[in-house]
Each structure stands twice: as C-alpha cells, then as structure tokens.
Chain A
C-alpha cells in the first residue's frame, strides 16, 4: 500500500468509501464523549470560572487550523512534484475546512477573551497571525475558484501554498516582534509538568483527537465530492462532443 496507488481515483474512491463509515464512527466515539466530558464533568477552574469550557472547542480548532495548512502544503508538494491528482483535490477539499477551523478559533477566542481579558480583540501576536492565516485561506480558495482549467488551478494554488507557507511563518515571527501578547503560552506540552492539570488535559486530548477525526471524515467526503464533480464535468464534455 503506497500513496501512489491512490493517484488512481477509482482506487481512492473504493478505499475511501470503505473507510468513511469507520472514520465517521470513530469521530462520533471520540468527539461526543470528549466534549460532553469537557463541558459537564470537569470542575470549574479557579480563575476562569465556566469560561474554561471554551478550551474544548478553541484549542482543537486552532490546532487543526494550523495543521490543515501544513497538510495542504504537503499535498500541494506531492501534486507539484509527482502529478498526483487526488492529492491536488485533497488540498482543494481541505482549504474550506481549514478556513472554518480558523474562524472557529478566532470566534471562540473572542468569546473567551471578552470575560477574561476584558476585550473581544487584542492585537496579540497569536491572534494576529491567525487572522493572517485566515486571509491566506481566503486567497487560496479564491484562486481555486477563479481559474477554470483544473490543472492550471492546481499548479498555481500549489505554488501559492508554498510561498504562502513561508510568509505565514514569517508573519508569525514578525507579529511576535511587533507586539507582546496577552495569550498564554503552551497548554498542551507532552511534559506533564508543563501542561495544564490532568483533569482538563484528558478530555481536551480526547476532543483534539475527535476534531482531527472529524477533519479526516470531512476531508474524505469533500475529496470524494470533488472527484465526482470532476467526473461529471468530463461526462458533460463528452456528451457535448458527441
């Protein structure tokens, strides 16, 4: 089994069709308990009160927002180097999910920041770089929409993704230099001395796994839709030719 086998859309459709219910089931089995555990069965934190519950949505969404971009970077590279068609479609399918995750992270962050910091928005480096990441997602999706030829679009968005990654990282460090932040540091380190108390950590990890699986489910679904719509377009074209 190698990823090159799945450059063949038929093979990808078979495997993903078989995989989809399982991944979906796993998503439900982790996300629901993770969130329920987090929302209803954890104590209130001393200084945060009930607002600590936001963490079970905020942190997983933020983690995904960054990792989805990394995944798009990898799939774009695979497409640019080896012309792996499904890979290009996966990058296209991932972008809107990543954008929504970024938006969720920003909005839940604002809802959390209001009671805690007394402000909806602060030009903190982390917040700022997420806003910039959001803009990158928008630009990437807009470029996909604008170009008609699918291969050209895949190439150009791939190049944009590479250049965008470099500048997203650069903006992140520029923003750190530019303004000192309110945002707390690491809550998630694997070192148990550093991360938040286990009571919160365990449901949080479960939620993150759940969000990750949710992403995989949505990604498989969306990629399958993309492949089908590509097929439909090809059929229509053939019809017109005949």
Chain B
C-alpha cells in the first residue's frame, strides 16, 4: 500500500502540474470573484468563506478524472484489481494520494488567499480546521465519481454532474463552520457534522468506488 502511495505521488509530481494546477486554479477563482462582485472589503469579507470553500471544491474537481483514467488506459488498474490487497484499499490509497497532491496544498494555501478576500481574523483558524476536515471527503467522493466514469471517453463533464451533488453536505457544513467562526458563534454542530460526514465517507464510499471499478473492468 505504501509502495502504491509513493508510486502515485511520484507520478503526480513528475507528470507535472499535479501540485501546481489545482492551486493556480484556486488562485484564479479567488482573483476573479472580486471582479465579479466589486472590490468593497465588507462584501468580500462576508462571502470570503463561501468563495474559499467553492474554490477549493472546484480545484479538487478539476483533477478527479485523472485518479483512475491513466491506470485504466495502460492496464495497471487491472493489475491492481488482481493484486493481493483488496480493491477497496487501493481506492483509499488513491484517494489519499489525490488528497496529498490537491487537498493538502489547498489547505496550506487557503490562509494566503483568505487575506486577498479580507476574511475576518477569528475565522482563519476555522477555515483551516474546516478545510482539513472536509477536503479528504471531497477526494474520497471524487474516487467514486472517477470510478463510475473511468470507462468513458469523455467523462469529464459527466463526472462533475455526478460528483457535485454529493459535495453538498460537506460544502454546507464546511462553509457554515467558517461563517460561524468568523462571527464568533457556537461552532460545535457544524464541526462535529463535518467531521462525522468525512469519517463516514472515508469508511464507506471506497466500497462503492471499488464496486464501480469492478463493473468497469469486467
């Protein structure tokens, strides 16, 4: 499993763009929003948490189709499916690799981008917490969408249609956590719900993804 993880990470870094592209996309989203809504600081501060979450979500979506596509094309997915470790574990490792290459950089860069959007001071901590708790769920759910569309020639658009509705609960609780943090309100409920959704997603969704891959490899 560790070998698979290092392999995936190495592939993502050496193929180029793995780390950079998602981040650049995130930056572009953050840059474009003030052009759309105007440069007034108070408006930006109010919507900053939502924009940061949306940006992270879209940046994550951008790289989903590559999770299984390359392995499917060159046949290594067949090898992984027949390998001694269960396919569910393969999926989990793939999701982890995806998170390290896209989710983690987003989490690390988010405070910098938050400065651009005048995010209020107390919210920074909760922005980090919410992204750290929420983005793993985005990656794991992404493997499910990627597994469903892996056999398709042009699955990209379909993938977003399938995956984005699944992101709704995570987005709601994640953005709500930051918003409440910014206003100094009680944060226990969104915090525990976000953590709970992520934990359940990591525990259960790999089974669905693995089932979908098995169907596609048949």
Which of A's residues lie within 8 Å of B, judged by CB? 132, 135-136, 138-139, 142-143, 146-147, 152, 155-156, 159-160, 162-164, 167-168, 170-171, 174-175, 177-178
Given contacts A146-B152, A163-B166, A164-B166, contact A174 B172 (CB under 8 A): yes
Partner of A139, one of B162, B190, B211, B212: B162
Q: Is B165 a contact of A160 with CB atoms below 8 Å? A: no
User: Which partner residue on chain A sits nearest B205 by CB separation?
Assistant: A163
Query: How would you classify the secondary structure of chain A's contact residues: helix, strand, loop or mixed?
Result: helix
- Can you list 15 residue pairs at the A/B interface with Cβ under 8 Å? A139-B165, A142-B162, A143-B149, A146-B155, A152-B216, A156-B148, A159-B212, A159-B215, A162-B208, A163-B166, A167-B169, A170-B168, A170-B197, A174-B173, A177-B172
Please tell me the number of chain B residues within 8 Å of chain A, measured between CB atoms. Answer: 28
B28 to chain A, nearest CB (A): 25
Partner of A152, one of B161, B162, B172, B215: B215
B193: chain A residues at CB < 8 Å are 174, 177
Q: Is A132 a contact of B208 with CB atoms below 8 Å? A: no
B108: chain A residues at CB < 8 Å are none
B216: chain A residues at CB < 8 Å are 152, 156
CA A163 to CA B145, docked complex, whole Å: 11
CA A211 to CA B91, docked complex, whole Å: 43
Q: Is A178 a contact of B161 with CB atoms below 8 Å? A: no
Residue of B151, B168, B205 with most partner-chain A CB within 10 A: B168
B162: chain A residues at CB < 8 Å are 139, 142-143, 160
Q: Is A160 a contact of B148 with CB atoms below 8 Å? A: yes
Q: Is A142 a contact of B165 with CB atoms below 8 Å? A: no
B188 to chain A, nearest CB (A): 12
Partner of A142, one of B158, B166, B208: B158
Q: Is B172 a contact of A178 with CB atoms below 8 Å? A: yes
Residue of A138, A156, A163 with most partner-chain B CB within 10 A: A163
CA A178 to CA B179, docked complex, whole Å: 11
CA A174 to CA B148, docked complex, whole Å: 25
Which of B's residues lie within 8 Å of A, judged by CB? 144, 148-149, 151-152, 155, 158, 161-162, 164-166, 168-169, 172-173, 176, 189-190, 193, 197, 205, 208, 211-212, 215-216, 218
Q: Is B168 a contact of A139 with CB atoms below 8 Å? A: no
Q: Is A163 a contact of B144 with CB atoms below 8 Å? A: yes
Given contacts A152-B216, A174-B168, contact A163 B208 (CB under 8 A): yes
B174 to chain A, nearest CB (A): 10
Q: Is A178 a contact of B176 with CB atoms below 8 Å? A: yes
A178: chain B residues at CB < 8 Å are 172, 176
Q: Nearest 4 A-B pairs (CB), nearest first?
A: A155-B215, A174-B172, A174-B169, A171-B168
User: Which partner residue on chain A sits nearest B152 by CB separation?
Assistant: A146
B64 to chain A, nearest CB (A): 14
B95 to chain A, nearest CB (A): 15
CA A168 to CA B168, docked complex, whole Å: 9
